[in-house]
């Protein structure tokens, strides 16, 4: 590896890490606000909320790494051109392809990281995220019953707790259960304990009363008890009832599961599209970088700046992203058209390599002017 390759590669890698990290944090911050309802409405601890949102970080990184590589490469190569470093390097006999080699190496590192995330990390983190989210939504033992407020555990079940004692003891409890609309009931108890078990989460009430109206709504029956159990698990569910999302399945499952395994044809199509997206998605690191290099590394040097080339590179990035999304949507509806995704992922890179390696000068901003010395007198 030559000195100029190490010089440019070091800037590309450092810049990509900073930009990708910053973009991922911004996306994480905006998306994590959606889950504040668990903290506000269900009393979820900040630690559990942070763990829930951090499970999404690998998915954010896969999204931001390719465009981060593109913008960092665009910035660095534009600065090298403005500072005349590229002109000096080419005058010293360094080929255009050799100057682009650091960007290709950086794209290779980015693609390896994306493959690691998409094939290994994201399925595991998505599974952990959905399990924790499912547990928070359906398992009352994961919910902190706040004192002095009416806690709606699930639809139709409201619990009020006056205070809390030691060892998880609840003091002054009121439970209003309308999960059976024709037989609503209200429970009052001096104390209770929130517990879980094989039968699901439930609360044990002690020294209280059970009040229930009859079907006519005219007579009230009151039953006094020493102990009573209110089951919270009727809402839902254990982990066995949770349907696995296609994003948390392994690549092998996405490619082999069929309609005969109990999946709708549309679900099978989405799984096939997800599998091919995992294989093709990281390759956008190359196509995005090549899109920028084709505009900045071809054509004559322009003292007036490279604004038109930069705009062209950004426009090509938007076009490539739109084509990738369109191809993914098409394959989701037509699994037999998976070749389109690979065409969109590989063709821009192949065209970019041809343009960079070609001795012909391509000027994206328009027709190149001949040098003044070559113009006829």
Q: What is the pLDDT of residues 286-323, one digit of tens each?
A: 999 998 888 888 766 565 667 888 888 899 999 998 99
206 pLDDT higher than 70: yes
The confidence score (pLDDT) of residue 234 equals 45
180 pLDDT higher than 60: yes
> If you average pLDDT over residues 219-234, what whole number do you get?
79
> If you average pLDDT over residues 349-371, what whole number do you get?
63
| Distance from C-alpha of 186 to C-alpha of 209, rounded to nearest angstrom | 8
Please provide the average confidence, as pLDDT, over all residues in the chain: 80
- The model's pTM: 0.71
Q: Residue 201's closest CA among 171, 242, 243, 157?
A: 157
19 confidence band (pLDDT: 50, 70, 90): very high
> If you average pLDDT over residues 228-240, what whole number do you get?
58
The confidence score (pLDDT) of residue 117 equals 93
| CB-based contact 288:110 (threshold 8 Å) | no
The confidence score (pLDDT) of residue 197 equals 54
143 confidence band (pLDDT: 50, 70, 90): low
96 pLDDT higher than 80: yes
116 pLDDT higher than 90: yes
The confidence score (pLDDT) of residue 145 equals 67
Q: Residue 7's closest CA among 85, 61, 64?
A: 85
362 pLDDT higher than 90: no
| Distance from C-alpha of 10 to C-alpha of 349, rounded to nearest angstrom | 22
């Amino acid at each position: 590896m030559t000195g100029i390759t190490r010089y440019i590669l070091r800037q590309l890698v450092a810049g990509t890490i900073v930009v990708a990290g910053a973009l991922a944090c911004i996306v994480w911050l905006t998306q994590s606000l959606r889950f504040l309802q668990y903290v506000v409405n269900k009393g979820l601890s900040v630690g559990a909320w942070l763990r829930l949102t951090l499970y999404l970080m690998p998915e954010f990184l896969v999204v931001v790494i390719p465009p981060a590589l593109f913008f960092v490469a665009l910035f660095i190569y534009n600065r090298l051109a403005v500072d005349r470093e590229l002109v000096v390097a080419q005058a010293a006999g360094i080929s255009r392809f050799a100057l682009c080699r650091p960007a290709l190496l950086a794209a290779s590192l980015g693609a390896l990281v994306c493959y690691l995330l998409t094939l290994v990390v994201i399925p595991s983190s998505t599974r952990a995220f959905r399990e924790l989210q499912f547990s928070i939504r359906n398992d009352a033992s994961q919910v902190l019953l706040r004192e002095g407020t009416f806690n709606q555990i699930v639809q139709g079940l409201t619990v009020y707790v006056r205070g809390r004692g030691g060892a998880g003891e609840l003091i002054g409890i009121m439970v209003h259960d309308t999960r059976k609309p024709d037989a609503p009931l209200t429970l009052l108890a001096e104390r209770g304990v929130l517990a879980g078990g094989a039968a699901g989460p439930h609360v044990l009430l002690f020294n209280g009363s059970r009040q229930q109206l009859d079907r006519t709504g005219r007579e009230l029956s009151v039953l006094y008890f020493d102990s009573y159990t209110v089951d919270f698990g009727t809402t839902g569910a254990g982990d066995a009832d949770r349907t696995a999302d296609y994003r948390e399945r392994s690549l092998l499952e996405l490619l082999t599961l069929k309609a005969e395994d109990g999946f709708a044809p549309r679900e099978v199509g989405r799984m096939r599209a997800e599998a091919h997206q995992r294989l093709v998605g990281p390759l956008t690191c190359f196509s995005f970088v090549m899109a920028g290099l084709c505009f900045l590394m071809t054509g004559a040097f322009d003292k007036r700046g490279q604004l038109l080339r930069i705009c062209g590179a950004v426009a090509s990035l938007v076009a490539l992203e739109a084509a990738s999304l369109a191809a993914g949507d098409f394959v989701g509806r037509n699994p037999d058209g998976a070749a389109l995704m690979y065409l969109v992922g590989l063709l821009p890179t192949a065209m970019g390599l041809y343009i960079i390696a070609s001795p012909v000068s391509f000027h994206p901003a328009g027709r190149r002017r001949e040098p003044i010395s070559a113009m006829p007198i």
